[in-house]
Amino acid sequence: MKWQCLAAGAALVLSAATAFADGDAVAGAQVFKKCGSCHTATEPVNRVGPSLMGVVGRPVASVATYSYSPAMKAFAEGGKVWDEALLRKYLPSPQFLVKGTRMTFPGLKSDKDLDNIIAYLKNPGAAQ
């Protein structure tokens, strides 16, 4: 019984790891075009929204040169970090996760688009 529990736990960890491992940065660059009017991922320059350069692994609402909405500042409380799991919760419906955010983007509904855009955000240089 003990080994069955360990095997089940290991399988769960491995399946979660592989669920986040897939994605194509080149395809993600195409998906990012939906974001490009408000964000950049290859330059530390803010547009309507903050630069997303280096966003994966960065604390939420932490670009010092950007003025975040009160809703996003409140969401950042507790030390949230933009990791793959949080991006997967946020990107399908930003307004649902962060009530009162100024971001009007309707979200990405496709798991494949999420895989690809996260791969791109992790390494935008791979798409060139």
Contacts 24+ apart (CB under 8 A), 46-50: 49/103
Q: For domain 24-127, give the CATH number.
A: 1.10.760.10
pLDDT tens, 12-50?
A: 444 343 344 589 999 999 999 999 999 999 999 999 999
pLDDT of residue 45: 97
Angstrom distance (rounded) from CA 124 to CA 106:
22
- Higher-pLDDT residue of 122 and 1 is 122
Kind and range of the H or E element at 19?
Answer: helix 2-21
Domain spans of the chain, in order of start: 24-127
Write the pLDDT tens digit of every residue in 68-125.
999 999 999 999 999 999 999 999 999 999 999 999 999 999 999 999 999 999 999 8
Three-class SS of 70-128: HHHHHHHCCCCECCHHHHHHHCCCHHHHCCCCCCCCCCCCCHHHHHHHHHHHHCHHHHC
pTM score? 0.81
pLDDT at 21: 52
